[in-house]
């Protein structure tokens, strides 16, 4: 599980990220990110719509899988970014762990979030 200091709180900051953040898209996942110099740690969120995966159990399982990948990558990321990963395809649920990890790492590297 992702520690509390790395998670978003409230909708205001997420709304700001949606409005002002830069987007990087892959075929299955989109990442929005913006620098946040007011914080010492980066914050992350994973958004999966009901239209993508109907079952709440499956949405939560996929969210936990992505949070685990992010948790393992936090030491290699630059500090003070707000990041939202948005899943737009139900195919992501059936992906194996390595493919999902590669997708997330590719988005992070395209955004130049690695140290």
The total domain count for the chain is 1
Q: Give residue 97's pLDDT.
A: 95
Q: From residue 72, how far is each of 21, 55, 77 by CA, in Å?
A: 24, 26, 10
Residue 71 lies in a domain: yes
The residues with which 35 forms a beta bridge, in sequence order, are 81
Contact 45, 10 (CB under 8 A): no
As given in the structure block, the two tokens for residue 15 are: 């709304």
- 97: exposed, middle or buried (C-beta count within 10 Å: 0-12, 13-18, 19+)? exposed
What CATH number is given to the structural domain containing 34? 3.30.230.10
Range of the structural domain that residue 15 is part of: 4-110
Residue 19 lies in a domain: yes
Q: Give residue 9's pLDDT.
A: 84
Residue 42 lies in a domain: yes
pLDDT single digits (tens) 43-93: 999 999 999 999 999 999 999 999 999 999 999 998 889 999 999 999 999
Residue 115 lies in a domain: no
Quote the pTM value: 0.92
């Amino acid at each position: 599980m992702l520690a509390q200091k790395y998670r978003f709180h409230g909708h205001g900051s997420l709304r700001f990220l949606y409005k002002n953040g830069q987007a990087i898209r892959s075929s299955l996942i989109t990442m929005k990110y913006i620098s946040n110099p007011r914080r010492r740690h980066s914050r992350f969120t994973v958004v999966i719509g009901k239209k993508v995966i109907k079952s709440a159990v499956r949405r939560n399982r996929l969210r936990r899988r992505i949070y685990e990948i992010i948790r393992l990558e936090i030491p290699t990321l630059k500090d003070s970014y707000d990041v939202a990963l948005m899943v737009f395809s139900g195919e992501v649920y059936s992906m194996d762990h390595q493919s999902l990890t590669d997708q997330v790492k590719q988005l992070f590297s395209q955004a130049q979030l690695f140290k």
